[in-house]
Homo-oligomer: A and B are copies of this chain.
């Protein structure tokens, strides 16, 4: 494993749900993300618990958005997936006895806290709708040809 990509993946799928699907199954979403339906359910469970999506069991079930993308920030999703660690570096022990080590970790921790505050502030002020708007500027037709095959499957089966 390299880096935690759950935030990126969830943003990706939420935009597609808003644009192309009224309701999508875990299987459909998993093909879109290039992964497995169980992984999708596992990750989306957090979003459901926070009320950003709904899931329905049984025949004709699947996932759907529970609110508009302009009502969901990146911070919301980050929290919904369980606030995974942001940084890959840090101290070697949590509470070092050595005072030199404490001074090192304090200084390092200050810098990390500043960077984290900046990052979370960006997450807080950007909605998923903002990202969708960025996409529209790149591709004004509002089409994503990459997942077209999946769209076709979905249209054919419904």
Contacts and interface: CB of A to CB of B under 8 A. Distances in A.
A15 B110 CA distance: 19
Q: Count chain B CB atoms within 10 A of each CB in A3, A4, A8, A114 and give the residue with the most.
A: A8
Q: How many copies does the complex hold?
A: 2
A146 B92 contact: no
A87 to B, nearest CB: 6
Nearest to A107: B131
A123 B112 CA distance: 10
Chain A residues touching B, majority SS: helix
B3 A99 contact: no
Interface stretch (A44-52, A54-62, A133-141): A133-141
19 contacts: A3-B87, A3-B88, A4-B89, A5-B89, A6-B89, A8-B92, A8-B101, A8-B105, A15-B104, A74-B111, A84-B89, A87-B87, A98-B147, A103-B131, A103-B132, A103-B135, A107-B126, A111-B122, A118-B118
